Amino acid sequence: MKSVRAARRAIIRRSYQKYQKTLMPSQWKYLPRTLDICALDPFAKGLDAGTDVAVTAANFKGAFRQLPGLLSAGSDARKLHAHSLIKIATSASQPASSAPKPGEIVEGETASSSSPPDALDLATAVFICKEVSWFDCIEPYLFGWDDIAQHHCKPDLDLVTSYGFQQHMEHTPAPPKIYFSPQGSEIAATVVRAIGLDDQVATVSDMDATAKDIRFGCSVCPPFNRNIAAWTKAGYNWRDFVCSTCLFTFPPVSNAISPRSYIVM
């Protein structure tokens, strides 16, 4: 039965590749693995059919017609889960919010009725992927929903390529396990404030645009000798700086280096 299932997964994979061609290339990075598609009910029925049933691509046409709705539902569930991770972490560390409601009068002023950014879009929405694999020893840090949505670190169809060899590993069909990082969020907030933005409303895209040409140098790391004539210190973009500080547990104190000025954090 294992070989039969493998052959049927190959059929689904070929049809899935054809389906991908009907989408804009910019959408491809958000698509789940073939292994995840095979676990969806409409596909699993054909995949798990008895060995006496001849399964072809035609058996999955109805499933592919349902696929857009299934992918949307899966994305919504994944986003809801990410939201819950932030709420759990923030509720444990902060008192109940006393923010004014839209239109409420506060000390003679009218609160803004504009909608705040989604919590998952903020630059402080820092997550860690906790998928443990022997071929990847560094935990990737994810910034905001867009990073989470396109993060597919687990191998597809139980196949891993490492150092030119193909090895088979068992993997369950599910999105990567992620956790909200309070430490990463705190460091990101410090970086956001260092370049003059409000960490309560600055989004990941705001930081990518505003800090595009700014480099952050850790004040704890010593300079290193790049060549005989020059000593230098590493400069990180804002994402890499947050990752480096989290990984090496340095205090969030650094110099933000821009082409025209130095911003001390």
pLDDT in tens, 196-212: 999 999 999 999 999 99
- Burial class of residue 181 (count of CB atoms within 10 Å of its CB; 0-12, 13-18, 19+): buried
Q: Tell me: the pLDDT tens digits for 20-41?
A: 999 999 999 999 999 999 999 9
Q: What is the mean pLDDT of the chain?
A: 80
Give the confidence band of 171 by pLDDT, cuts at 50, 70, 90. Answer: low
**Average of pLDDT values for 83-107?**
64
What is the CA 248 to chain-centroid distance, rounded?
A: 21
The domain spans of the chain are 2-72, 182-264
Of the candidates 231, 241, 230, 243, the residue with the CA atom closest to the CA atom of residue 263: 241
Give the confidence band of 139 by pLDDT, cuts at 50, 70, 90. Answer: low
Strand, coil or helix: what is 12?
Answer: helix
What token pair was written down for 246?
Answer: 């989290």
CA–CA separation, 212 vs 195, rounded Å?
11
Of the candidates 57, 54, 60, the residue with the CA atom closest to the CA atom of residue 40: 60
What is the CA 6 to chain-centroid distance, rounded?
A: 29
